Structure 1
Amino acid sequence: MALEITIEDSRWQDAGLEELAHQAVGAALGRFDLDPEDCEIALLACGDDQIADLNAEFREKPVPTNVLSWPAEDLAAPEPGGQPSRPEADFTGEIPLGDIAIAYETCQREASAAKKPLEDHLRHLVVHGVLHLLGYDHIRDPDATVMEGLEVEILGNMGLDDPYTLDDSL
């Protein structure tokens, strides 16, 4: 898997980010029969200040958030609740999916508030980010229903509880 992880906040090093991110990315891609070895994703592990800057720049929301995603290609379904297009390989044979950023403080705060392990919340947020890269979203209600169902399924396959019974902050 071409998962490039950049750690900008050293607290992520103690959280087991690399192994957890590989697990979550592999599970999410496997759900769609995508070979993780063929896919390219960049993951930025940062803090609240940096993600607030990114959120301001790209979403005009100058506040921290838990996860941001930048798909390499717009794969979104045109109709609400529809199936996004399948990503395709580029001329190198790789499938560039895009970039994800995750903020330590927000992730830690949300995990504590939901009384669940940081590791479980991290896996959820990475799966959530990968689904965004694959064209899923939660802006429209039918899309949110599909995306949340996929998250529950993927996380369940990883042995994790339904995150929406404990945490609906995404």
Structure 2
Amino acid sequence: MNAPEIAVSVSCETWRDVLPDGEAIVIRASSAALAEEGLAERRLELSVVLADDESVRTLNRHYRGKDKPTNVLSFEGDMRDDGADGTDIGDGDRPPLLLGDIIVALETILQEAQLQNKSPGDHLSHLVVHGVLHLLGYDHENDDDAELMETRERAILAGLGIADPYGSGPRDADLEG
């Protein structure tokens, strides 16, 4: 049976102190996002790194030209191969396709969770779902795209029993992914 492979790396040990179940949260959230998008039985690889703000700041500066930490970064793999060559994405004899990498910054998400009155685990789930959707081609560059992406996020998180992360307030402009 084909199934996504989700690798979780903890590069900042404080994650284990703050959210001992962080790795399980990542697997649950990313699996839910992939399932909701119809990819639960595809041969895909996804890497999620639980990092600190300084590591994310370095990546953000290097790859996006923004010298500050952000909550989540997503780096696409080879998922853009849409099967146009006659093969199906992540199926058959081909090796698993690399969906990409998601890196989450501990200090930033803890601060945001506190400011937004959310549990750190729920906020981590949201950011992982957000990152997975970015890797699948969703974005929030304009209002229509943002609304579509947020609708998908809400549906996936509701399936996990997590409240609407946007509530009735304005969009979270800090979700950069």
TM-score, normalised to structure 1, is 0.87
Give the secondary structure class of the aligned counterpart of 1:164: coil
CA–CA separation in structure 1 for the residues paired with 2:164 and 2:39: 23
CA–CA separation in structure 2 for the residues paired with 1:88 and 1:164: 32
Matches within 5 A, 1:46-65: 46-65=51-70
User: Could you say which structure has the higher helix fraction?
Assistant: 1
Q: Which amino acid aligns with 1:101?
A: I
| Structure 1 counterpart of 2:85 | none
Higher CA-based Rg: 2
CA–CA separation in structure 2 for the residues paired with 1:30 and 1:5: 18
State whether structure 2 residue 89 is matched by structure 1 residue 88.
yes
**CA offset at residue 114 of structure 1?**
0.8
Report the CA distance shift for 1:42/1:74 in structure 2 as closer, same or farther (over 3 A). closer
* 1:87-118 deviations in Å (ceiling 9; x for gaps): 82276342320000000000000000011110
**CA offset at residue 139 of structure 1?**
1.1
Structure 1: unaligned runs, 5 residues or longer: 76-86
Give the secondary structure class of the aligned counterpart of 2:166: helix
Identity %: 40
RMSD between aligned residues = 1.9
CA–CA separation in structure 1 for the residues paired with 2:9 and 2:26: 12
- What is the number of equivalent residue pairs in this alignment? 159
**CA offset at residue 38 of structure 1?**
2.2
| Structure 2 counterpart of 1:81 | none
Matches within 5 A, 1:1-170: 1-14=4-17, 15=19, 16-35=21-40, 38-73=43-78, 75=80, 88-89=89-90, 92-165=94-167, 168=172, 169-170=174-175
**CA offset at residue 26 of structure 1?**
0.9
TM-score, normalised to structure 2, is 0.83
Q: Which amino acid aligns with 2:129?
A: V
